[in-house]
Chains A and B, each alone.
Chain A
Amino acid sequence: EPEVTQTPSHQVTQMGQEVILRCVPISNHLYFYWYRQILGQKVEFLVSFYNNEISEKSEIFDDQFSVERPDGSNFTLKIRSTKLEDSAMYFCASSEEGGYTDTQYFGPGTRLTVL
């Protein structure tokens, strides 16, 4: 069964460093998403991406964040200068369509720890 994959599973970085989190969505899916979950809290939407551009972003997704689909299969989230409060689990998700009836399938997550 096709699945979303994410690498790395765990990333430890120093405050102020840049990190890139990688995702490979399900191959026939057209809509891509990033969410984050701070430990013990609910899952929060960061950004949606379709047709090589951002469709929607939350207030969390400020200028320190960027997304890219560099090669037609990978989907990346870059944090330019990490802060302590960026420590969280980051989930990539994808769906065939962007409509409200379509299921989003999540990757296993990348746990980001900022020291």
Chain B
Amino acid sequence: ILNVEQSPQSLHVQEGDSTNFTCSFPSSNFYALHWYRWETAKSPEALFVMTLNGDEKKKGRISATLNTKEGYSYLYIKGSQPEDSATYLCAFSGGYQKVTFGTGTKLQVIP
């Protein structure tokens, strides 16, 4: 079983604060790293798929970076809004072709 870890497990931030979370994954047999956003009572939806070391992706106020050599990815949210409240999942796709999910970081943005 591959080890994909996310930290912190949960956090509360004030509206307007910027925040970031970490995903660590095996540094060998890397194929892709996914970030998903999972709102309560909905299904996970993909934010980013990252494949190259040094990749940086951005969608609005959310961005992500990737370091495959050391096995970590950061997700950043700039100027958090209440609608950003969700669980953020990362998922590692390795050489064995299946995807392993982390347990997620639950973000609560307080108005």
State whether these chains interact.
no
